[in-house]
Amino acid sequence: MNKKYNFPPDFWWGAATSGPQSEGRFYKKHRNIFDYWFDIEPEAFFNRIGPNVTSNFFNSYREDIRMMKEIGLNSVRTSIQWTRLIKDFETGEVDPEGAAFYHQVIDEFLKNGITPVMNLHHFDLPIDLYEKYGGWESKIVVELFVLFAQKCFALFGDKVKQWVTFNEPMVVVEGQYLYTFHYPNLVDGLKAVQVLYNLNLASAKTIAAFRDTDCAKQGGKIGIVLNLTPSYPRSDHEADVKAADFVDNFFNRSFLDPAVKGEFSVTLVDVLEKDGVLWESTEKELAIIKRNTVDFLGVNYYQPRRAKAKESLFDESCGWMPDKYFDNYQLPGCRMNPYRQWEIYPQAIYDIAINLRDQYDNIPWYLSENGMGVEGEEQYTNSDGYVEDDYRIDFYEEHLGWLHKGMEEGANCFGFHAWTPIDCWSWSNAYKNRYGYIALDLATQRKTIKKSGYWIKQVAQNNGF
SS3 of residue 233 by DSSP: strand
322, amino acid identity: P
Query: Using CA atoms, how far apart are residues 292 and 290, in angstroms rounded to an integer?
Result: 6
Domains defined for the chain, CATH in brackets? 12-462 (3.20.20.80)
Residues 218-242 pLDDT 10s: 999 999 999 999 999 999 999 999 9
388, amino acid identity: E
What are the φ/ψ torsions at residue 462 (nearest 5 degrees)? Answer: -90, -5
Quick one: average pLDDT of 90-108?
98
**What is the overall mean pLDDT for the chain?**
97
CA dihedral angle for residue 181, residue 22, residue 339, residue 243, rounded to 10 degrees? 40
Quick one: average pLDDT of 198-222?
98
Tell me the residue length of the chain. Answer: 465
Q: CB–CB of 441/385 below 8 Å?
A: no
Q: Name the percent of the chain in helix, strand, coil, to the closest 5.
A: 45, 15, 35
Q: Does the pTM of the predicted model rise above 0.95?
A: yes
Q: Residue 316 has what pLDDT?
A: 85
Q: Residue 3 has what pLDDT?
A: 84
What are the φ/ψ torsions at residue 381 (nearest 5 degrees)? Answer: -75, 130
Return the percentage of the chain with pLDDT > 70, whole number.
100
Q: Is the pLDDT of residue 1 over 60?
A: no
- The helix (H) or strand (E) run that includes residue 327 is strand 327-328
Angle at 245 (CA atoms; ends 243, 248), nearest 5 degrees: 115
Q: Residue 158 has what pLDDT?
A: 97
Q: Is the pLDDT of residue 463 over 90?
A: yes
Quick one: average pLDDT of 301-326?
94
Q: Which residues contact 198 (CB under 8 A, 6 or more apart)?
A: 136, 137, 138, 139, 141, 142, 279
Where in the sequence numbering do the catalytic residues fall? 168, 369
